[in-house]
Amino acid sequence: MSGTLDPEVLVLGGTGTIGRGVVGALLEAGSPVLAVARDRGRLRALRDRYSDEPALHVLQGSVANDASAATLAAAVAQRPRPLAGVVASLGSALRCGRLLDQPLTALRRRMEADLLPHLAAARHLLPLLAQAERGGRYLLLGSPCALRAWSGHGESSVAAAAIRMLAQVLHEESKPLGVRVQLLALAHPVCRSEAGSDDCPEWFTALSVGRAAVALLADAGVPGQAIVDIDKHHYAHPRTSLMTALHFSSSTHEVSP
């Protein structure tokens, strides 16, 4: 007897604060998830956290450069499940300091750590998403410091603004592939834990960001919009119908037990 495996969503940076929120939101929506990160120990911890979720799979990998992104894409292409979407939760830790007080190499390192991995990932994963029957979805997660300069975090503000523009470029360039690229724009920071949301009620929780990503993956209502703002209150509750939205026909990836 043959059957069709449900498509999966790949979460780049799935072990980070926001990445874990995206993974959790996808699982509560009924979607198989492939979480990718560089640290094997953190991947193991994520797998242990969701030990009762057979839909979660983890994969050690990197998109730091073209070579590592190509290796990751080759591994993803060999997986039995079709790839329905990618959520890129990438970035390095904030570092305090004025731009004027730092050498040029500081900003160069920031761009190499925060911006270029997004391009490497898109270059190698968009062709895989182009194989999705209904057109794949690729989401980048934006930072509030892309909208205004944060005092003491100039290099992160510059990199975040560049990522925002990159998303708009990729949105246009991916149209011939039939893939929808969008950036979820966060107007406020994200709490490091769900409990911390009580202290900063205007901030996002990682799970609310994840639920916003799930909603955008499932929603065909804003395909022409490269930048999508998150309504914090709208995503306070889970979505449970992602698999319906990401349905694939039985003509692809048939498997026989």
Count other Cβ atoms within 10 Å, centred on residue 142.
Answer: 23
Dist CA 98 CA 152 (whole Å)? 5
Give backbone dihedrals phi and psi of 239, rounded to 5 degrees, phi first. Answer: -105, 140
- Say which residues have a Cβ less than 8 Å from residue 109's Cβ, sequence separation at least 6: none
* Residue from 90, 85, 97 nearest 115 by CA: 90
Q: pTM for the whole thing?
A: 0.88
The dihedral built from the CA positions of residue 31, 138, 14 and 195, taken in this order, carries a sign that is negative
- Name the residue ranges covered by the structural domains of the chain: 7-249
For the stretch 69-120, pLDDT in tens is: 999 999 999 999 999 999 999 988 878 888 999 999 999 999 999 999 999 9
Domain 7-249 in CATH: superfamily?
A: NAD(P)-binding Rossmann-like Domain (3.40.50.720)
Mean pLDDT of the chain: 86
For the stretch 22-73, pLDDT in tens is: 999 999 999 999 999 999 999 999 999 999 999 999 999 999 999 999 999 9
